[in-house]
Amino acid sequence: MQYTTETVTALATQVANAFTTAFAAAAQPGAAVPTMATLETQLRELLRQVGQQTLSTLLSRGEGTPVATMACACGGTLHYQRQRPATVVSVFGKMTYTRPYYAGCACGHGLAPRDVAYGLTPGAVTSGLASLLGLTGIAFGFAEGRQWVQQFLLFDVAAHTIRAETQTFGQLQQTRETAQQAQSQSEAALQARVRAAPTGAARLYGSIDAAKVRIEPRVRLGERPTSEKTEAWRDLKVGCWYEVAPVRAVAASARERIKLARDQVAWRATTIHYYCDIAEASLFGEQLWSAGVAANADVAQELVFVCDGAVWIWHLVEHYFPKAVQIVDWFHAEEHLERVAQAAFPNLIARAQWLDPVTTDLWEGRVADVLRACEALAPHCAEARQAAGYFQNNAERMRYDQFRAAGYVIGSGTVESACKQIVARRLKVSGAQWNPDGAVLTAKARAAYLSGDWQILATARAALPLAV
C-alpha cells in the first residue's frame, strides 16, 4: 500500500500541530529546549497512540447492517446478538474494538466474523505483534527480550507472552517438518516428485553436528526438591544443507584470507537451510532425509558431506545417502594430532618436530603415514592410541589431497557456525532455563529464521485462529 505525498503531508501537519500544542502545554516556564532524544520519544508515543486509535476505529467500522443469521460450522444457524467489544494487543499496544457477534446455535458456540476475517483472538496478541515477539524470543532471553520490546514499542509485554509466541513459531516449524517427513516417506509423493523432475544443485553439501543444551530439573507441584534432581545435558543435533561460492580476496574475512594464502581459494556457504532436534540418532535420520528431499539433495548432481568423525553421523549418511562423498572435517582431524603431540611431547621443540611433518602428511592425504606415527607413540600414550583408531576408521574420508584437487570444501565450519548461532547464542544465554520441549521449539524457530523461512511461519501464525 502506498500513500500520496499530499496525504502524508496533510497527516504530518496535523500530527506536528497536535504535538506542538501538547508539548507546549506540558512545558514548565523557563524550561530548557528539549533534547532530540526527548522529541523523538514523545513523538513516537504520540504516533503509537494514533496508531492504536486508528486501528481500533478500522476494526470497529462496519459494512452496513449485520445480517440476521449465518451458518454455523456445525451445520446449524447462528443469530445476530449485538455489537460486542473485544480487546487484543497489537503493535500499538492494547486496544478495544467492537464487532457484530453471533450466537444461539444448539452447539453453544459463538462467532465474530470480523475476528475470523482478520485472524484475531480476543485477549491475545495480533499476528503482527506475534511475529515481532517471536523474533525477539529467538534473539534474546525472554526476560531480556521484554526490556527490548518495551524500548522499541513503548509498552510492556510479559516475558511469558514472548516465550509463548516464540515457541508457537517453533511449533509451526515442527508442523512443517512433520509434513515434510510424511511427504519424504510417501511412495506416491516420491514417484510424483520423480515425474516432476526437480533440478538439483551441481554440488550440494550437507553437514551434521551436535551441541550440549542444559535441561533444568522440574519439580512437580507439592514435591520437594531433592539432590537427585540435578540438571542434565542433552545433545541438540543440528544439520544443514548448503552450496558454496568462492570468496573474492577483497571481501574475505581474516580466516578466509588465511585460506586464500594457503589454498589459493576460499569458499563461503550460501543458500543454507538448517534443521535441529533433541532426538535419538535414528529419529534425527528421518529429519536428515526429509530436509534433504526439501533441499533436493536426492537429485543433486553431486552430494558431499563434511562432518566430524562421530560414528553416529556417518552411519546416518551411509544409510540415507550412500553415494555421497564423505569428508572428515580437516580441523577436527588436525586437532587430534595436536592433542597427541601435547600429550606425548612435553618439550615444545620435540613436539613441533613430530607435529609439523605428520600434519603435512595428513594435509597431503598420506593417512597411512599418519597412522604409523600415532601407532609408534601408542604404547606409552593413550591419546595416540585413540587417535590411531580414529585415523584408521576414517582413512577414506581423509583423502585431503584428492578432495582439494576436486575443489571440495574440507571444513565443516558451516554446521559449527550453526551450533554457535542456535545453541551458544540463544539456548546458552545467561539465565536460560529449558525443558526439552521449550529448548527444541525455540531452536527450531531460530533455525527457521536463519534459513530465511520466517515469513512462511509468520503467514501460518496469522492463520492460526482460523483453524481453532
Higher pLDDT, 35 or 321: 321
CB under 8 Å to 383, separation ≥6 — which residues? Answer: 339, 340, 342, 343, 344
Among residues 291, 272, 290, 295, the alpha carbon closest in space to that of 200 is found at: 295
pLDDT at 77: 96
pLDDT at 134: 98
Mean pLDDT of 433-440: 93
Q: Which residue has 580414529 as its cell numbers?
A: 390
Mean pLDDT of 62-69: 88
pLDDT at 137: 97
pLDDT at 218: 64
User: Domain boundaries in the chain?
Assistant: 69-124, 200-219+229-417
Count CB neighbours of 141 within 10 A.
20
CB under 8 Å to 34, separation ≥6 — which residues? Answer: 23, 42
pLDDT at 251: 61
pLDDT at 466: 46
Give backbone dihedrals phi and psi of 69, rounded to 5 degrees, phi first: -140, 160
Contact criterion met (CB below 8 Å) for 373 and 398: no
Predicted confidence band of residue 96 (pLDDT cuts 50, 70, 90): very high
pLDDT at 32: 75
Distance CA 298, CA 317 (A): 12
C-alpha cell at 162: 514472548
Contact criterion met (CB below 8 Å) for 446 and 422: yes
Q: Which residues sit opposite 133 in a β-bridge?
A: none
Percent of the chain with pLDDT over 90: 77
Least confident among 60-69, 95-104, 138-147, 233-242: 60-69
Average pLDDT over all residues of the chain: 91
Is residue 72 pLDDT above 50, yes or no?
A: yes
Strand, coil or helix: what is 157? Answer: coil
C-alpha cell at 57: 476505529
Q: Which helix (H) or strand (E) holds 8?
A: helix 5-26
Is residue 249 pLDDT above 80, yes or no?
A: no
Contact criterion met (CB below 8 Å) for 273 and 322: no
C-alpha cell at 393: 576408521
User: 359-387, pLDDT tens digit by residue?
Assistant: 999 999 999 999 999 999 999 999 999 99
Predicted confidence band of residue 267 (pLDDT cuts 50, 70, 90): confident
User: 194-229, pLDDT tens digit by residue?
Assistant: 888 888 899 999 999 999 999 987 666 666 655 555
pLDDT at 63: 74
Is residue 107 pLDDT above 70, yes or no?
A: yes
Predicted confidence band of residue 266 (pLDDT cuts 50, 70, 90): confident
DSSP assigned state of 272: E
Least confident among 24-28, 153-157, 438-442: 24-28
Is residue 460 pLDDT above 50, yes or no?
A: yes
Least confident among 74-78, 192-196, 346-350: 192-196
Percent of the chain with pLDDT over 70: 93
User: 287-333, pLDDT tens digit by residue?
Assistant: 999 999 999 999 999 999 999 989 999 999 999 999 999 999 999 99
| Stated pTM of the model | 0.89
Task: Give, in order, the Cα–Cα distances in Å from 19 to each of 23, 39, 292, 362, 420.
Answer: 6, 10, 56, 71, 46
